[in-house]
Structure 1
Amino acid sequence: MALNHVIGKAIAKYRKQANLSQEQLAEALGIGYEAVSRMERGVVIPTVDRLIEIAEIVGCPVTELLSQTSPRPSDEVVYLHQLLSSLSSANKQWLMEQIEAWAQKLK
């Protein structure tokens, strides 16, 4: 998936988690909601300054908008750790077993 689409999906995800509509995010950014829609669909890629603004508005570190797009193993590990951190030990173990099984099937 292209970088602009992955960043767009991350923006949409965190906007929704912040319970903001595209219109509300656009208003906070001082732009039209169509511009937010284009970013989220990956039609355009926001500038670094705009990404920082978006991160502040939706309440996430800017690295969250970028780390999900990074192919670097260290960023992937951080992202997976964040996903797993809220799970119980039993659920983490179950999920790791599922991931191992899927990884074997997909080789």
Structure 2
Amino acid sequence: MTQDNKLIPELDGLLYKFTELLTGEATEERVEMIKVWSIYSHMLKVMPPLVKHWTSEEEHQEAKRKIREIFEEIQRLNEENKKQIREHQSVFNKNE
């Protein structure tokens, strides 16, 4: 790994852009939320039994709750962002 602990520095740029397009803004907090969301989503698709087992463990209930909150917040931010984009496009189309 490089000195700054990043295997592929260019991936950060892609992650920031993805976060911006999905949520409307690429703050450090949102980027971290997207990391959790994307990793957990991928694990859930690739190894559902593992995730199901992990979430069933009593010691992971707080983490499970936090992950659920992150998913809900990302969904809310995405809906707000899509709404703003539609409104902007509507105004733009009226001006043509």
Structure-2-length-normalised TM-score:
0.30
Structure with greater Cα Rg: 2
Structure-1-length-normalised TM-score:
0.28
